[in-house]
A and B are shown apart, each in its own frame.
Chain A
Amino acid sequence: MSHSSDLARAASAPASPVVTATGHRGLDREEALIFELDAEGRSGVDLPEPPPVTPRLGGLARRRPIGLPGLAEPQVVRHYVRLSRRNYAIDLGLYPLGSCTMKHNPRLNEKLARLPGFADLHPLQPEETTQGALRLMHELTHWLTTLCGMPGVALTPAAGAQGELCGLLCIRAALRAGGDQRQVVLVADSAHGTNPATAAMAGYRVEAVPANARGRVDLQALKARLGPDVAAMMLTNPNTCGLFEDEIAEAAAAVHAAGAFVYCDGANFNALVGRVRPGDLGIDCMHLNLHKTFSTPHGGGGPGSGPVMLAAALAPYAPLPFLLREGERLRLVERREGEAAASFGRMKAFHGQMGMFIRALAYMLSHGGDGLKQVAEDAVLTANYVLARVGDVLSPSFPGPCMHECLFDDRFLKGTGVTTLDFAKALIDEGFHPMTMYFPLVVHGALLIEPTETESLDSLEEFIAALRHLAAEATAGRAERFTGAPHLAPRRRLDETAAARKPVLRWRPPDRPRAAE
């Protein structure tokens, strides 16, 4: 049959890159900028003619056109669908970004967040008309405080970094209330960059505490540095080496004895949820990332939500608004009065990331207390499985077991001419998103892998096979497949140097070139 002979001929021909007239490569289409698809006067909406009125704009009506392009709906839909196909996503495959917890995002949560009773609710409606929303926030509070073993929670922060700021401001307000003007925040060497950036934003001087040879906070160094000028110690547990800070109890006791507070970055709570309560570890303050542990989608960079768990000593200083229960009714306290008299103030408009609260609560109700414990256990199991299965060909930075993520450094690439970056980019050609690279900074050429609990064994095996294959290729001297990688993505490596030297941060019409600076 001609059909099968065509196939046979194609299979025997050497692979050769076909140059297409369009620049598209089959389903992988090039897409113009929206501004390049413009036709004047065209629109993708039909709105009624405005009723005739005398304008009341105080003479401030716009005088010049804005310059927005006009497209009809079919063009707009195609544009964004085409763009979407140039992205990797958790819905396409394993997304092993360490300390990012890229787990499956249940679609039920999307559906529920869009119920008009939640999505179409104004934050300043009379509270009688929003009791369901307040009850949802109250239920979320109950779940989070139970999971963490900490009595207070500030729901407002918009993301993890804002949660960190919220926590440090609670600490600062608590110390201020006691007349204490401590100036220093200690930050573990392996901390996320947000930790020192946040401490600086809260007005503190930042000092690093080194890691010991076991990849944990150096307890002796910490004790030596503690003193009357230290306000808080910020650490991450499990830390960004994927290791549990096993001296946390002693560290916390030392910090408390020095009159300071323990702040925990909760980015890695997925290893502990339902199984270990941070409150039992001596932690005074910790943000949670609802967009990590509790599966609200990352959305290409946000939005997130970063509720902050607070010990009793810090809870009175939480940001506005406070959520209070009065019998059957719930109430928001939006000014410093009564229970909220000591609040450090407001961090953002309105009451927090309600859309994320709904998704996170739906996630918790779906899993239950039993399921969340299983989440932590499976997350730890998958990371240890990857560590066990590739530990002989990559170079684990610390002996196992790990928690929910496993850390490797670049010793296994020594002498191959392949860098951590090259190795990660080659993983793209194998169909996976790379792991976190060059972080944490405490090991050389770090590769940090977090598989999460939503991967099946088959998916893990495929990933492990890809890692083993690439390690073998690198040590066999096939550097060229790495240094040129990725070869099979919508784009090859991009020139970031050129982008930073002469930044082009927006489109400009061709006839109006960029003004010289």
Chain B
Amino acid sequence: MRYLPLTPRDRAHMLRAIGVPSIDALYDGVPAAARRREALPLPAHQGEIEVERHLAELAACNLGAGRAAFFLGAGAYRHHVPAAVDHLIQRSEFLTSYTPYQPEISQGTLQYLFEFQTQVALLTGMEVANASLYDGATATSEAVLMAARLTRRHKAVLSGGLHPHYRDTVATLTDFAGFRATALPADADGGQDLVASLDGDTACLVVQNPDVFGRLHDLEPLAGAAQARGALLVAVVNEPVSLGLVRSPGEMGADIVAAEGQGLGGGLNFGGPHLGLFATRERFVRQMPGRLCGETVDADGRRGYVLTLSTREQHIRREKATSNICTNSGLMALAFTIHLSLLGEAGLRRLAELNHAKAVQLADRLAGLPGVRLANDSFFNEFTLRLGRPAAPLVAALAGRGVLAGVPGSRLWPERADLADLLLVCASECTTAADMTALVDGLKEALR
């Protein structure tokens, strides 16, 4: 067995040194009824050749995005990730290290986390960011819980433009933690009055930008209205590339930013692992969830980095911790920070412009189709179409022709028949003119 270095001779030697006759003796404490001498009814071990063959067969049953004209977004974005990113994150010293609890021999991880925190703070326009959470949805839940701690209030108002998976994740946590999340109905056509739902017990207003339909919102008046009522504005971003072109939530007055970082450095991975980003104001830092890396000096006075403000965390504060999170998305944070380092200011701006321009071109072409209406007047790289008939069957039909056309409304809002004709369509730097033509022609034919 290729991953097990001990030989039968080694094992016999070790058992003698321990002073027991057999390995079974070491399991003496296990109740007799639960002791098994035989292997469980599972296949026997296999070599690389067999394992690789089996998994390759499974992979071949999927239609990978690269084999289709691809237009899906809705919280998971497909961007070109430079080759250096995946090469670097596979460095053994990054890939196979643990959480940097021993800073003297973890400066590699700690320094990139410090750089990552800085990049996230800059990108979101906030003062401080943490070292990552699981994903955008859990980051949003944590933001709501943090707002409740800060304001000592018991209600969160969720905008109808919030991704329904995020909405449901928040609802789960708030339900059991004993306070209310008021989720406004999905707002496909825009214009929802968010301020009307704020009251004296509202801890935070949660607004996604661009929202799940792709629409952009000026957060400034919302931040002002929330803050005037003693509530906080939680801004949610699930396409990080948008921040290269769109005003940052911090600039528009957000108190907490919860974001999905997968679009930079990360692949689609069928939805996980992704990368939760979390940023806020400096004065709220002691209520933040998750790990934080800080700068300090060592015994010789040299600059170095450590995990800090750990008394917020579960391993010290136990039931009074700000969150139960331990393992986060370290390696995805590394991929994010490397991708962003490669892009730089100029590269990110160019990438964002390219995404927007492709989306504008595509939206114009699709909106010209008979029976198709563009639901948003503003967007970054994703927009919503109204098709006038259920979108899911059209999407299924187009998939059969190698076009992954977008996300139908019924997938995100299965309970809302009135949203079944929605199609969320996303373009990126990877979208070619031929892809666009395939979608436009395919949709035209399917709608006929």
Contact = CB atoms under 8 A, between A and B. Distances in A.
Q: Do A and B bind each other?
A: yes
B274 A349 contact: yes
Interface in A301-349: 301-305, 319-320, 334-335, 344-349
Contact of A53 (B3, B34, B361): B361
Nearest to A389: B17
B96 A90 contact: yes
A309 to B, nearest CB: 14
Contacts of B137: 346, 348-349
Given A56-B379, A354-B271, A62 B247 contact: yes
Given A60-B378, A401-B25, A54 B272 contact: no
Contacts of B48: 108, 366
A200 B267 contact: no
A276 to B, nearest CB: 5
A63 B246 CA distance: 8
A500 B292 CA distance: 10
A35 B311 CA distance: 29
Interface stretch (B151-159, B198-206, B294-302): B294-302
Contact of B54 (A111, A305, A365, A371): A365
A83 B327 contact: no
A298 B91 CA distance: 13
B182 interface: no
A468 B45 CA distance: 37
Contact of A506 (B82, B117, B244, B340): B117
Interface in A350-377: 350-356, 358, 361-362, 364-375, 377
Contacts of B308: 496, 499-500, 503, 505
A274 B40 CA distance: 6
Nearest to B405: A126
Interface in B5-42: 5-6, 10-11, 13-15, 17-20, 23, 25-31, 33-36, 39-42
Contact of B295 (A117, A319, A374, A499): A499
A401 B20 contact: yes
Given A83-B111, A381-B26, A503 B292 contact: yes
Contacts of A374: 1, 4
A83 B268 contact: no
A125 B66 CA distance: 13
Contacts of B299: 484, 492-495
Interface stretch (A6-14, A155-163, A254-262, A469-477): A155-163
Contact of A302 (B31, B51, B56, B132): B132
Interface string A159-192: 1111011000100100000000000000000001
B64 A116 contact: yes
A60 B247 contact: yes
A172 B122 CA distance: 40
Contacts of A274: 39-40
Contacts, number: 727
B98 to A, nearest CB: 5
A317 B327 CA distance: 25
A169 B172 contact: yes
Interface in B283-332: 283, 285, 291-300, 302, 304-306, 308-311, 313-321, 323-332
Interface string B159-189: 0000101101101110111100000000000
Nearest to A54: B360
Contacts of A493: 104, 298-299
Contacts of B14: 381-382, 384-385, 457
Interface in A54-74: 54-71, 73
Contacts of B297: 494-495, 498
Interface stretch (B227-235, B349-357, B439-447): B349-357
B138 A42 contact: no
A202 B172 CA distance: 10
B93 A92 contact: yes
Contacts of B434: none
Summarize A's interface: helix, strand, loop or mixed.
loop
B369 interface: no
B96 A91 contact: yes
A58 B216 contact: yes
Interface string B250-272: 01000000001000000111111
A110 B31 CA distance: 38
A501 to B, nearest CB: 10
Nearest to B134: A158
Contact of A61 (B11, B27, B97, B245): B245
* Among A346, A387, A504, residue most surrounded by chain B Cβ atoms (within 10 Å): A346
Contacts of B293: 505
A132 B60 contact: yes
A198 B314 CA distance: 9
B5 A33 contact: no
Contacts of A361: 55
B347 A57 contact: no
B5 A456 contact: yes
Contacts of B358: 50-51
Given A91-B92, A351-B271, A346 B324 contact: no
Contacts of A275: 27, 36
A203 B302 CA distance: 44
A62 B327 contact: no
B175 A132 contact: no
A77 B66 contact: no
A47 B412 CA distance: 33
Nearest to B44: A368
Contacts of A38: 344
Contacts of A65: 345
A288 interface: no
Contacts of A219: none
B395 A126 contact: yes
A356 B273 CA distance: 8
A77 B172 contact: no
B338 interface: yes
A27 interface: no
Contacts of A67: 122, 345
Contacts of A505: 114, 117, 128-129, 285, 292-295, 308
Contacts of A305: 272-273
A401 B18 contact: yes
B104 A494 contact: yes
Contact of A73 (B26, B46, B84): B84
Nearest to A298: B98
Given A62-B245, A130-B270, A428-B105, 20 more contacts: A50-B356, A62-B246, A86-B93, A89-B97, A110-B95, A112-B55, A112-B59, A118-B270, A123-B268, A123-B270, A128-B400, A202-B176, A301-B109, A348-B138, A354-B269, A455-B5, A489-B104, A492-B300, A498-B297, A505-B285
Q: 5 closest pairs, A vs B, by CB?
A: A350-B271, A117-B59, A299-B331, A58-B378, A132-B61
16 contacts: A33-B115, A80-B334, A90-B92, A118-B58, A161-B325, A197-B318, A197-B324, A275-B36, A276-B35, A301-B99, A303-B273, A400-B18, A401-B18, A494-B305, A495-B296, A495-B297
